[in-house]
Amino acid sequence: MANLLGLEVKKVTETPPEEVERVQNWINSEEYKEKNFARQALVINPAHACQPLGAQLCAHGFEGTLPFVHGSQGCASYYRSTLNRHFREPAPAVSDSMTEDGAVFGGQNNLHEGLENAYALYKPKMIAVFTSCMPEVIGDDLTAFIKNAKQKAFVPKELPIPYANTPSFNGTHIHGYDSMLYSILHTLTEGKQIEGRCTGKLNLIAGCDFNTGDYREYKRILKEFGIPYTLLADIGDTFESPCDGTYNIYAGGTKLEDAADSINGKATIAIGPYATPKTFGWIKDTYSGKHVTMPMPMGIEKTDAFIMKIAELFGKDVPASLKNERGRAVDAMTDSQQYMHGKKFAVYGDPDYLMGYVSFLLEMGARPHHILCSRGSKKAEKELQALLDGSMYGTGCKIYMNKDLWHLRSLVVTDPVDAIIGDTHGKFAARDAKVPLFRFGFPIFDRVNKHRYPLIGYQGVVNMVTEICNKFIDIKDETCEDRFFEMMR
């Protein structure tokens, strides 16, 4: 008998309905919440992905760049399909398909063959190599492998091949983004620093941001200022490419020569301190000009800080158009604050997004009641706490670091909120808690075109206010008694 577990052969059973009901109620209880929060090893419904995904996103942000996964081919398919589903756009990337023999002999042969083929087929201007688990576990030496690939002429010597170690058993997608960005900029700027040269430009890094609308918004704001800029790792056009009857494998990205010259910039702003610490640390030590790292400009206050920083760095006044824009955003907030005031939210996501959500909610008089971060640091926790402490609407709000979306479920069913802000993966918790999920951030698989609408800047404020308030009004219209159903809201 094929019963290697040595279990007794029993009849097929059905769980009695009363037992199902008992457990169904139990998982909504305080007792269950305690048990759930006592977990030591099991992670259920995590709100983060692994490093190479962020590395691939970053690679797509450069002109003519082919992301290249050194590792098992399944990894590449997973990253690609995740980006496809979120953006509803192509996400071309190759893998060198390491298999069992790679585990024994190392991955150099795969890497060399892969580079040669990828170059011949897809004619990239740059190949950005990053790793998945296998080569990280067996300890492949990328530095030597890539040097050898050029020496043996699998690819031209002049082809830039930045590479990043992005082990999935460490950090999250934001750390992979940082490592890849560091490597790309390091590679492209090597030997390009010219004493006394200043491009006069602002280098802007958007951070590990999966919203193409944000990239467009940054560019628009800088255009309003009339400031020349290089947006580094610009995925804006890559993942929002036109449908015009032709497929361009490299649809967007920062021009390589601009990225190379960024080292001679007038100033550099790295958005997203949690997604760019390695890159920013290096830029600070290496790049010409001034350097500053800032939170995502979400909400009025953080956008103001961003706008003023640009004005300060370039000695310019804030243009009237942006002042008006700010006024319009504040107008949108004051006109609709009554629909959000006092509402309780559960929010989760990457640290940089979280700072933005919390800041914005507090500005609206809403309460970020449960704040959950799947992989966060003490520093991030402190910064969030400071935001809460700075507003009376932060009173009673709590931060949960290194918790997952099954923890979130326990929170929202035992200590209810009016809505959740997060990615698509929160939809089960939202359904169980019978509250709306506002899909901001990444990934969004189950709604269309959300990535096209900026969350940052004054325009981002208008977008968030509109979406959130109108949903609450919808709910009122859908659920109120007939006699309270009326024309005005």
Partner 1 sequence: MSDKIRTIDGITKESTQAMIDDALSVYPEKAKKKRAPHLAPNDAASGCASVKSNKKTVPGVMSARGCAYAGAKGVVWGPIRDMVHVSHGPVGCGWYSWGTRRNLMSGINGVTQFGMQFTSDFQEKDIVYGGDKKLDTLLHEAHDLFPLAKGISVLSECPVGLIGDDINSVTKRVSKELEIPIIPCNCEGFRGVSQSLGHHISNDSIRDYIIETREFAEPSTPYDIALIGDYNIGGDVWSAKSLLEEIGLNVKSVWTGDGELEKIAATHTVKLNLIHCYRSMNYMCKVMEEKYGIPWLEFNFFGPTKIRESLRAIAERFDDVIKEKVELAIAKYEPIMQAIIDEYKPRLDKKKVMLLVGGLRPRHTIGAYEDLGMDCVGSGYEFAHGDDYDRTAPEMPDATVVYDDPSEYEFEKFAHALKPDLIGSGIKEKYVFQKMGIPFRQMHSWDYSGPYHGYQGFEIFARDVDMAVNSPTWKLVKAPF
Binders of partner 1 among 6-35, rule CB under 8 A? 6-7, 9-13, 15, 19-20, 23-24, 27, 32, 35
Q: Which is nearer to partner 1, 40 or 395 (CB)?
A: 40
**DSSP-assigned states of every residue in 289-330:** SEEEEE----HHHHHHHHHHHHHHHHT-PPPHHHHHHHHHHH
Can you tell me which of 64, 133, 337, 476 binds partner 1, judged by CB under 8 A?
Answer: 133
Query: Which amino acid is located at 446 in the chain?
Result: D
* Tokens at 444, concatenated: 């969004």
Euclidean distance between CA atoms 59 and 196, whole angstroms? 30
Q: How far is the CB of 139 from partner 1 (least distance, A)?
A: 10
Can you tell me which of 29, 34, 190, 247 binds partner 1, judged by CB under 8 A?
Answer: 247
Three-state helix/strand/coil letters over 216-278: HHHHHHHHHHCCCEEEECCCCCCCCCCCCCCCCCCCCCECHHHHHHHHHCCEEEEECCCCCHH
Can you tell me which of 62, 68, 306, 442 binds partner 1, judged by CB under 8 A?
Answer: 68
Q: Which is nearer to partner 1, 19 or 257 (CB)?
A: 19
Q: How far is the CB of 51 from partner 1 (least distance, A)?
A: 8
Residue 75 touches partner 1, criterion: CB under 8 A: yes
Euclidean distance between CA atoms 14 and 29, whole angstroms? 24
Q: How far is residue 405 CA from its own chain's centroid? A: 17
Residue 91 touches partner 1, criterion: CB under 8 A: yes
Q: How far is the CB of 171 from partner 1 (least distance, A)?
A: 9
**DSSP-assigned states of every residue in 85-105:** HHHTS----EE----HHHHHH
Residue 320 touches partner 1, criterion: CB under 8 A: no
With contact defined as beta carbons under 8 Å apart, do 68 and 115 qualify?
Answer: yes
The one segment of 109-117, 185-193, 268-276, 343-351 that binds partner 1 by CB under 8 A: 109-117
Q: How far is the CB of 377 from partner 1 (least distance, A)?
A: 14
Residue 80 touches partner 1, criterion: CB under 8 A: yes
Q: How far is the CB of 370 from partner 1 (least distance, A)?
A: 18
| CA-based R_g, the chain, Å | 25
Can you tell me which of 64, 113, 159, 330 binds partner 1, judged by CB under 8 A?
Answer: 113
Site string for partner 1, 389-408 (x = CB under 8 A): -----------------x--
Please, what is the angle between helix 51-59 and helix 173-189, to 10°?
Answer: 40
* Tokens at 448, concatenated: 């269309």
Residue 121 touches partner 1, criterion: CB under 8 A: yes
Q: 3-state DSSP call for residue 208?
A: coil
Interaction residues for partner 1, span 147-206 (CB under 8 A): 167-170, 172
278, 216, 299: which is closest to 55 by C-alpha?
Answer: 278
The one segment of 67-75, 284-292, 307-315, 479-487 that binds partner 1 by CB under 8 A: 67-75
Residue 111 touches partner 1, criterion: CB under 8 A: yes
